[in-house]
Amino acid sequence: MENIINKEEEKINNTNNTILEETLNTNKKENIRKRKPKEPMVEGIFRNLEIPGSPLTFSFSIDKNPAKKYTLIDGEKVTLPLSVAKHINNCKYSVNKAEIDSRGIWIGVHRDEVHRFSFRRIDNLMEDA
């Protein structure tokens, strides 16, 4: 009687182990699919347009990784991840200016965007990152 029970328990354990292994293999495949390729690095020159000559220190996180601290010095050549370079070029604010016609009548508001910083790629100076 005990032999029969032991054999049944072994079958159940083997089945559970097989299911567990299949689940682990499936999770590994899903994790591999979710991983993104390593982000390309770009080389360029950083410019502080807001306060020329001043360094810029900021933290930036790619995906859900811990934030990395960057210190960029105005006019220096640096190598950064592409998303950081794009972030630098997207730092801007809007300035609203009233538009007045020749008779002095207010006709609307004109919005200008003022860029705070610039990152110009060295390999392609004609195009922003």
Per-residue pLDDT of the chain (129 residues; tens, 9 = 90+): 555 555 556 655 555 555 545 555 555 555 544 555 688 899 999 999 999 999 999 999 887 788 899 999 999 999 999 999 999 999 888 888 888 888 888 787 778 888 899 999 987 644 555
91 DSSP assignment: -
Is residue 125 classed as helix, strand or coil in its secondary structure? coil
Q: Which helix (H) or strand (E) holds 101?
A: none
Asked if 96 and 113 touch (Cβ cutoff 8 Å), the reply is no
**Number of Cα atoms under 13 Å in the Cβ half of residue 90:** 7
**Number of Cα atoms under 13 Å in the Cβ half of residue 14:** 6
* Residue 54: partners with Cβ closer than 8 Å, 6 or more residues away: 48, 74
